Amino acid sequence: MIVKKTLLKNLHVINPCADPALLENAYVAIAGDTIESVSSSEPSGEFDVVHDLCGKTALPGMINAHHHLYSALAVGMPLPKNNPRNFNEILEQVWWEMDLALDRDSTQACFEAGLVDSLKAGTTTIIDHHCSPSYIEGSLSLLAETSEKLGLNISTAFEISDRNGQEIFEASLQENIAAISKFSATQYVHPMLGLHASFTLSDASLRKIRDAAGKLDSWGIHAHVSEDKADEADALNKGYNSVLERLEEFDLLNENGLIIHGLHIKDSDLELIQKHGSQFVHNPSSNANNRVGMTPNQNLNKLKSGLGTDGMQSNMLREGKEGMLIRSSHLEGGEDSVDYMQLLFKNNAEIASKLFSGSHGSSRKLGYILPKYQADLAIFDYLPRTPISESTIFGNIFFGLSGLPCDVMTRGEFRIRDYQLLDVSEQEIKANAVEQAKKLWSNFN
């Protein structure tokens, strides 16, 4: 097989959490979808294509460790008239109404709009948690196909829940199992087992999920855990000390699992996550929006938490900045905060590299502009007001680079150049999204 060799030159490369974090006027040599070298002198050898980036600045393609692409058409959606007062009312009156109204066409419009938004923000890997109970069979394949068309890495999961009855529960479980069987050997897709949350799954349902998982070679759950205190109260009601103890009781925790939110977990729950080596993901803008509280600093540090947006947005630089500001508003001068740069550029890279390496035996490295990593880059046309150095990277990233990248590369191919999508028509996708959003909103209002 002939492997395309690409050279990028005149590029300032920032790996925010590597040492060194900055390489000015760098050359990035790429073979196929993988970075071969990053150097300050021109590498030898023949290249099929050479791109002069004229002094632009590159960050690693970013990773969203928890997203709901199915909410992409909800941006701007009119809210229910009787103003939901708590977490359960938000779910019941907004999200559980909207997801039921999604059909195949509106689901596809969500995927396209959400993926385009992500790519345009330099987010090149998405760990998605999907829900469309009226369109289940084939929905995860549609997501994988749509991501492939745009060149993104996608992790799939369909939300399993009891809330829409037995038939939808079974079909949702089967959709996850089918995707795990179909995509486990596909390098740019990582299929997971999507659980909505402990409080919408009975003991019998958890047992069925575990039995089905037991027939697979490899699996990991992707589940909302302890997002609101109501989830913990439900677990207590069902006779367990905590949500995580309940999941452990049903043998659903392992090193491939993703624990989302975990706002109200106890120290013993934190130890359970560490014991099983599961991944933990924090979603600050969503938590603030839902008024469910704030994950303690020490839990985020101890669990090497990743960063997700929970469907709130597709821009990870904005999520990191908002996370920092939300937390700062609760701190007094001099108190330690959380290093959101580390969550986004170190912990997310570790989580995605581990998951996407997965069961097919090949190692896949994501989240750095370094040799052997997948060539996913977000390139900004950025003139810093202060020189970029180790000590100014944080400020330059979260306060300077918060606009959109001008060029985005995934797997060694440009998907966006000069702010324009190359492989698909953004205008068509947007026009279709507007049409589908109107239909969707009228269906559920």
3-state secondary structure of 351: helix
Residue whose CB is less far from Zn ion, 225 or 437: 225
Residue whose CB is less far from Zn ion, 56 or 224: 224
Instruction: Tell me the CB-side half-sphere exposure of residue 307, using CA atoms within 13 A.
Output: 30
Q: How distant, in Å, are the alpha carbons of 113, 212, 420 from that of 299? A: 34, 32, 40
Instruction: Tell me the CB-side half-sphere exposure of residue 224, using CA atoms within 13 A.
Output: 29
* Token output for 162: 């009891």
Is residue 191 within 8 Å of residue 180, measured between CB atoms?
yes
Q: Quick one: which segment of 191-199, 302-310, 336-344, 428-436 binds Zn ion (CB under 5 A)?
A: 302-310
Q: How far is the CB of 420 from Zn ion (least distance, A)?
A: 31
Q: What is the DSSP string of 155-182?
A: EE-B-B-STT-HHHHHHHHHHHHHHHHH
Q: Quick one: which segment of 15-23, 305-313, 353-361, 436-444 binds Zn ion (CB under 5 A)?
A: 305-313
Residue whose CB is less far from Zn ion, 17 or 127: 127
Instruction: Give me the amino acid identity at 246.
Output: R
Q: What is the DSSP letter of 285?
A: H
Q: How far is the CB of 382 from Zn ion (least distance, A)?
A: 31
Residue whose CB is less far from Zn ion, 234 or 310: 310
What residues have CB less than 8 Å from 227, skipping those under 6 apart?
Answer: 87, 197, 260, 261, 263, 287, 290, 292
Residue whose CB is less far from Zn ion, 310 or 407: 310
What residues have CB less than 8 Å from 198, skipping those under 6 apart?
Answer: 223, 225, 231, 234, 235, 243, 246, 247
Residue whose CB is less far from Zn ion, 191 or 194: 194
Q: Quick one: which segment of 104-112, 116-124, 306-314, 429-437 binds Zn ion (CB under 5 A)?
A: 306-314
* Token output for 146: 């749509």
Distance of CA 21 to the CA centre of its chain: 23
Task: Say how far apart CA 378 and CA 388 lie, in whole Å.
Answer: 17
Residue whose CB is less far from Zn ion, 5 or 196: 196
Q: How far is the CB of 66 from Zn ion (least distance, A)?
A: 6
Q: Which of 36, 117, 310, 407 binds Zn ion (CB under 5 A)?
A: 310
Site string for Zn ion, 414-433 (x = CB under 5 A): --------------------
Q: How far is the CB of 177 from Zn ion (least distance, A)?
A: 21
Q: How far is the CB of 97 from Zn ion (least distance, A)?
A: 17
Instruction: Give me the amino acid identity at 28.
Output: V
Site string for Zn ion, 255-294 (x = CB under 5 A): ----------------------------------------
227 contributes a contact to Zn ion by CB under 5 A: no
Q: Quick one: which segment of 55-63, 287-295, 309-317, 364-372 binds Zn ion (CB under 5 A)?
A: 309-317
Residue whose CB is less far from Zn ion, 36 or 310: 310
What residues have CB less than 8 Å from 18, skipping those under 6 apart?
Answer: 368, 370
Residue whose CB is less far from Zn ion, 128 or 407: 128
Q: Quick one: which segment of 182-190, 245-253, 310-318, 330-338 binds Zn ion (CB under 5 A)?
A: 310-318
Please choose, from the candidates 306, 299, 265, 259, the residue with its C-alpha nearest in 3D space to the C-alpha of residue 282: 306
Residue whose CB is less far from Zn ion, 53 or 63: 63
Distance of CA 398 to the CA centre of its chain: 19
Residue whose CB is less far from Zn ion, 124 or 286: 286
Q: How far is the CB of 432 from Zn ion (least distance, A)?
A: 25
Q: How far is the CB of 291 from Zn ion (least distance, A)?
A: 15
Task: Say how far apart CA 42 and CA 338 lie, in whole Å.
Answer: 38
Cβ density class 273-307: b for 16+ within 10 Å, e for less: beebebbbbbbbbbbbebebbbbeeebbeebebbb
Q: How far is the CB of 133 from Zn ion (least distance, A)?
A: 16
Residue facing Zn ion at closest CB distance? 310
Q: How distant, in Å, are the alpha carbons of 106, 126, 247, 266 from that of 114? A: 12, 10, 31, 34
Q: Quick one: which segment of 42-50, 195-203, 244-252, 308-316 binds Zn ion (CB under 5 A)?
A: 308-316
Instruction: Tell me the site size for Zn ion, rule CB under 5 A.
Output: 1
Write out the residues near Zn ion by the rule CB under 5 A.
Answer: 310
